[in-house]
Amino acid sequence: MRRSRRWRRAEQSSKEANRRFKGRAGWALSYEVVLTLFILPDHVGSVLTLYDCGRISLYVRKEIMKSVEILLLLLCLKVVCLAAFAAAPTCPADLGSVCSGSDEWEGEFFPSIHKIKYEGPSSKNRLAFKWYNAEEEILGKKMKDWLRFSVAFWHTFRGSGADPFGAPTKFWPWEDGTNSLAMAKRRMRANFEFLEKLGAELWCFHDKDIAPDGKTLEETNANLDEVVTLAKELQGSSKIRLLWGTAQLFLHPRYMHGAATSSEVGVYAYAAAQVKKAMEVTHYLGGENYVFWGGREGYQTLLNTDMERELNHLARFLEAAVAYKKKIGFNGTLLIEPKPQEPTKHQYDWDAATTASFLRKYGLTGEFKLNIECNHATLSGHSCHHELETARINGLLGNIDANTGDPQIGWDTDQFLTDIGEATLVMLSVVRNGGLAPGGFNFDAKLRRESTDVEDIFIAHISGMDTLARGLRNVAKLIEDGSLAELVRKRYETFDTEIGAQIEAGKADFEFLEKKVLEWGEPKVASGKQELAEMLFQSAL
């Protein structure tokens, strides 16, 4: 009994020691050595028992055993100390970087990748832009000012490739497999090197992406402060700015019924405290916007849900956010990101129109704009172009989460947008909107699970940036050509008449219009010219 307990303990400790030591600072602690050390007392005890045969007194035997056990205890203590030392964060050897042994990083995270340059459409270099030329002027603005590209920290630096059926597939060389504060800081440094090399000047984050949770809210906030201080320093020594921050209110089990729409008052309060802090750090980092994506603000069944009460709570929550924004002097735009479902069956911010109507009902229209995500648009049964135009004509287009779904997969696949036609439609809305600033294009997009090379992170973003840049160039061609705009103008020209103007000014009542019909007779109805419109559009791609 005594022997087997020790054996198990020894086995467990040696495995743990081996796990922690593996690949760290060159320490190789043999599993067998530790095991032998732990079971030695049993051996000594057995030998002494045999030898004893009445010749060594029980007292002496016990004394020898005690000394052996003290010796072993000391050895074990040493093992624990070595394990603790070896567990300190280290730099991955394969990058050939020098590591100070703390959370400081020296050297490069992407040593084989240089700053990505524009080489033009004929370039075959996968690590170069073919269409995105940041400083080039298109339609009176620099490409970088139309496009305002941003990297999403959660996908690019926290995406593991895991899915509901499989374990992580991505093991980036700078990751040590932990969610420690030191790791969080190292990851932040990797983020800034990536942004600089890519030539994207903006980034976005959730509070939980960038810093680990502590045991209490105070500890969690202190962790966040530490990482945010580093991010501020890194922003200061570069041109990189924060596009938006947000609070992650959907992963933790406390949020299983929602955050602002949870049935639990304590959860509502917790979410408020989390958003308060996330707004503070966004403000501190000079964020230009703050996003609310209602991940679990919805329901699974109306049978257990008081929808009216939940929507009222959501409005109160957003009102409180507006009040706090003003209190701390944060001038960024507050953005709501519509999504119809996933993770809940029905989310309250279903689409742009639903969200606009919610904002109007609660008198919040002037305080919020929308962050339109293309994959969310298609999940709600619309095109991205439809959602962008709905937001635009309501004066609500604030930001775009640039991505796309897959027509054969029914969920939010968050892929990089590479369809040139789609990108051109997106850019049509953006140009009509006069740009997105202070919003931008945030790549809420991730590598496929099967893409596991470090260079794939660059290739994905380069491809997404080139696609939207190409969309912008196509819009310039469409505008210069003018045929499509002329087709649309012509389609409505009967309203450019005196009567049409009266209708549009709200000065034509039903009796007046009836008189006109009696005078005009049956109206002539012109062709919609859809195929011609498609032909003109295609010719610009």
Between residue 282 and residue 301, which ones bind ligand XUL under the rule CB under 6 A? 291, 293
Per partner kind, with CB cut-offs from 5 to 8 A, the member of ligand XUL, Co ion, none near residue 310 is: none
Peptide bond preceding 212 in cis form (omega within 30 of 0): no
How near is the Cβ of 247 to ligand XUL at its closest, in Å? 9
Per partner kind, with CB cut-offs from 5 to 8 A, the member of ligand XUL, Co ion, none near residue 209 is: none
**Looking at beta carbons only, is 103 or 288 nearer to ligand XUL?**
288
Contact 418, 471 (CB under 8 A): no
The alpha carbon dihedral of 183, 186, 188, 191 has a sign of negative
Q: With binding defined as CB under 6 A, does residue 412 bind ligand XUL?
A: yes
Q: With binding defined as CB under 5 A, does residue 444 bind Co ion?
A: yes
How near is the Cβ of 250 to Co ion at its closest, in Å? 12
**Can you say whether residue 238 is alpha, beta or left, with left for phi > 0 and alpha for psi between -120 and 50 degrees?**
beta
**Looking at beta carbons only, is 211 or 291 nearer to Co ion?**
291
* SS3 state of residue 92: coil
Q: Out of 349, 373, 387, 466, which residue is the one contacting ligand XUL (CB under 6 A)?
A: 373
**Looking at beta carbons only, is 290 or 293 nearer to ligand XUL?**
293
How near is the Cβ of 293 to Co ion at its closest, in Å? 6
Q: With binding defined as CB under 6 A, does residue 103 bind ligand XUL?
A: no
Residues with Cβ within 8 Å of residue 348, at least 6 apart in sequence: 261, 294, 297, 298, 310, 311, 314, 354, 358
How near is the Cβ of 350 to Co ion at its closest, in Å? 15
Active site residue: 155, 206, 257, 382, which one? 206
How near is the Cβ of 456 to Co ion at its closest, in Å? 21
Per partner kind, with CB cut-offs from 5 to 8 A, the member of Co ion, ligand XUL, none near residue 339 is: ligand XUL
How near is the Cβ of 412 to ligand XUL at its closest, in Å? 5
Per partner kind, with CB cut-offs from 5 to 8 A, the member of ligand XUL, Co ion, none near residue 275 is: none
Q: Out of 156, 246, 262, 404, which residue is the one contacting ligand XUL (CB under 6 A)?
A: 246
Q: Where are the beta strands (DSSP E) in 224-306?
A: 241-246, 289-292, 298-299
**Looking at beta carbons only, is 325 or 339 nearer to ligand XUL?**
339
Contact 416, 463 (CB under 8 A): yes
**Joined tokens for residue 219:** 């500890």
Q: With binding defined as CB under 5 A, does residue 414 bind Co ion?
A: no
Q: Out of 209, 297, 351, 401, which residue is the one contacting ligand XUL (CB under 6 A)?
A: 401
Q: Which of 346, 336, 335, 246 is nearest to 296 (CA)?
A: 346
**Do the strands 117-118 and 441-443 form a parallel or antiparallel pair, or are they unpaired?**
unpaired
C-beta nearest to ligand XUL: residue: 293
- What are the φ/ψ torsions at residue 202 (nearest 5 degrees)? -130, 155
Per partner kind, with CB cut-offs from 5 to 8 A, the member of ligand XUL, Co ion, none near residue 314 is: none
CB neighbour class for 77 (10 Å; exposed up to 12, middle 13-18, buried from 19) = exposed
Binding-site size for ligand XUL (CB under 6 A) equals 10
* DSSP states of 239-256: S-EEEEEE---SSSGGGT
Per partner kind, with CB cut-offs from 5 to 8 A, the member of Co ion, ligand XUL, none near residue 246 is: ligand XUL
Q: With binding defined as CB under 5 A, does residue 373 bind Co ion?
A: yes
CB atoms within 10 A of CB 331: 10
**Joined tokens for residue 504:** 């549009």
**Joined tokens for residue 37:** 């050390």
Q: With binding defined as CB under 6 A, does residue 231 bind ligand XUL?
A: no
CA–CA distance, 443 with 440 (Å, rounded to integer): 10
Q: Out of 444, 457, 467, 474, which residue is the one contacting ligand XUL (CB under 6 A)?
A: 444
**Looking at beta carbons only, is 152 or 540 nearer to ligand XUL?**
152
How near is the Cβ of 389 to ligand XUL at its closest, in Å? 20
206 as an active site residue: the answer is yes
Q: Which residues of 385-394 are buried (b: 16+ CB within 10 A; e: fewer)?
A: bbbbbbbbeb
Stretch in the footprint of Co ion (CB under 5 A) among 43-51, 84-92, 303-311, 443-451 = 443-451
CA–CA distance, 476 with 482 (Å, rounded to integer): 10
56, 186, 401, 439 from 374: Cα distances, Å: 84, 31, 7, 15
Q: With binding defined as CB under 6 A, does residue 339 bind ligand XUL?
A: yes
**Joined tokens for residue 539:** 């010719």
Per partner kind, with CB cut-offs from 5 to 8 A, the member of ligand XUL, Co ion, none near residue 385 is: none
How near is the Cβ of 339 to ligand XUL at its closest, in Å? 6
Q: Which residues bind ligand XUL (CB under 6 A)?
A: 206, 246, 291, 293, 337, 339, 373, 401, 412, 444
Q: Which residues bind Co ion (CB under 5 A)?
A: 373, 401, 444
Active site (catalytic) residues? 206
